[in-house]
Chain A
Amino acid sequence: MKIAVCYKYVPEEEEIRVLDDRTLDFSKAQWKIGQYDLNAVEAGMQLAEAAGGEVVVLTAGDAAVDNSKLKKSILSRGPSMMYGIKDAGMSGADSSATAKVLKAGIEKIGDIQLVLCGEGSGDIYAQQTGVMLGAALGWPCVNAVSSLTLQEGRLIAERSLEHSVEVLEVTLPAVISVTSDINIPRIPPMRDILGAGKKPSACWTLDEAGAAVENGTRTHSILAPEQTDRRRIIFEDDGEQSIHALCEHLRKII
């Protein structure tokens, strides 16, 4: 079975700076593979190792698509080949636009029976790209999958909802979004990190992939929240007087 895992590279959260006008500055932020996508790669590797098959990875983005550090980072986790679709318009692409571009990539790679996605991206976390990709391909799609196995050629998925767990048989080809508790992603050993540099990759333009970026929404702004001014009335000890005074304040609310 040939499995494609989709991933997104996202900025390191701690390195995003908030400027005085509340806009965000990403210029000092390093890129990394979205943390939830690592669960999808691991799930793909475990399926392929158990049932036989090949895992490839696919991303769509702007300039950093073929960044060699990111490429090594994703390939060191086991996949045999990396595919990328690169276009400046992909920065800020919404989930519908991204899903359509990924669809073109999946079709161009060819012969894919299973697509795995993380539950949401590490930056925006809209949890939509996987399900929208299923809809774009016209394949069955299942989100919130917390366990995935192949049993006698049948794909069995446990879908973890708020109040129940569904055990589902899913017809292939299909798109599955996995939860962050489906597995603990492996930490690649040095041998695999070194080997990752030698693995093949392909980077396509939108034209080559036969895709276009068509957003269904427009982002007006991304701004840090205004800080609420808190009163900061602090009692420096837990003596009777302090507690009494605190209670007086609380009584006005409770």
Chain B
Amino acid sequence: MIKLPHVLVIAERPDAIAELTAGAAGLAEKVTLVYSGAREAAVNAAAAYYAGTLESHSFLSYLPSIAALVRELRPQLVLTEATKNGRAAAAAAAAAAGTSVQTDAVSLSLEDGRVSTQRMVYGGAAFQTQSGLGETAVVCAAAGLFEAGEKQPAAQIFELEPHSAGVRLLERRTKEEKSVNLNAAKIVIGAGRGFGCAENLALARELAAVIGAEVGCSRPVAEEEKWMPKEAYIGVSGVMIKPELYIACGISGQVQHMTGVSQARTIVAVNKDSGAPIFEKCDYGIVGDLNTVLKALIQAFKK
């Protein structure tokens, strides 16, 4: 593969900075980074442009500087994180480069210098394959598109200038930190309505602790029953996961949930209803009582 001359990465979380710069290094001769947060988070870049800690400005105030940087550097690819700020930055970069953004890319390939990506459309019914037409492609990378590698501190750090951009930050409120990190988990346990009540989820958490898993849930558990936070729900409009092992407990297997776990290597289903659609879409299934099965699994794996 012939590498691209230059990729501009725009990211804010330290993990994402490490992943996107590692991915960019595989695609390009030169990597430039735009980032915010901790100053020392700049890695794997020949030059890094720092937007500060965002205490007194919205990231939106840096978009004019980012657009100017895109016009000046004319990178062949701009890679951003699929966060709200990443999407806004991608739009600013695309407008500056006269192109559109390829968002939520779950795969990326390079052929004859053209960047092609795949993304999910129509609520998971299909994948769209697209490529950029202009000199610069802009891609908003879905979580997990690249893996972090070795981290070398960035060679040079420059300050990025904030502009008003028509927005003034009056206050920043911190959201409660979510402990769920389903994207990175190797094993995920999915909790469905079959648990009956929020208290019973303790069994799922206990099994998770024993086998080193994260716990997610189906949409009704988060949005209707509110037994778990919205961030924990797995499905097309929630979190899409690709663990080694997914254990669905008390989940019937609606299409939109199953699309969210379709990339799991192995799917195990525990459900008391032998007619549940999930038994058609799993590798191993057990028809039975959740309490009985989970308790037995906890005992078995404690040893």
Q: Do A and B come from one complex?
A: yes
Interface size class of B (residues with CB under 8 A): 35 or more
Is residue A27 within 8 Å, beta carbon to beta carbon, of the partner chain?
no
Quick one: which of A136, A215, A236 contacts B274, CB cutoff 8 A? A236
Cβ of B38 to closest chain A Cβ, rounded Å: 14
Task: Assess the B268–A165 pair: CB atoms within 8 A.
Answer: no
A173 to chain B: closest residue by CB: B166
Q: Shortest beta-carbon distance, A38 to chain B, in Å?
A: 15
Contact A232 B285 (CB under 8 A): yes
Q: 29 pairs across A/B with beta carbons < 8 Å? A: A24-B125, A96-B94, A96-B100, A96-B101, A124-B122, A132-B95, A143-B87, A143-B88, A161-B175, A164-B172, A165-B172, A166-B171, A167-B172, A171-B167, A174-B166, A216-B99, A219-B128, A222-B127, A223-B129, A224-B126, A224-B127, A230-B283, A233-B285, A234-B287, A236-B274, A238-B293, A253-B244, A254-B187, A254-B211
CA distance A240 to B40 in the complex (A): 54
Distance A163 CA – B179 CA, assembled complex (angstroms): 12
A134 to B91, CA, bound (A): 9
Q: In the complex, what residue of chain A is closest to B213 when comparing beta carbons? A: A254
Per-position contact with B for A14-26: 1 when CB-CB < 8 Å, else 0?
0010100010100
Of the listed stretches A79-87, A194-202, A242-250, name the one at the interface; the rest are far from the partner chain: A242-250
Known: A128-B101, A163-B177, A217-B99. A168 touches B187 (CB 8 A): no
Residues on B lying within 8 angstroms of A by beta carbon are: 58, 60, 67, 83-85, 87-88, 90-92, 94-95, 98-104, 116, 119, 121-123, 125-134, 164-175, 177, 187, 211-212, 244-245, 259, 262, 265-268, 274, 279-289, 292-293, 296-297, 300-301
Find the residue from A128, A231, A235, A237 having the highest chain B CB count within 10 A: A128
A96 CA / B121 CA spacing, docked (Å) = 17
Which size class do A's interface residues fall under? Answer: 35 or more
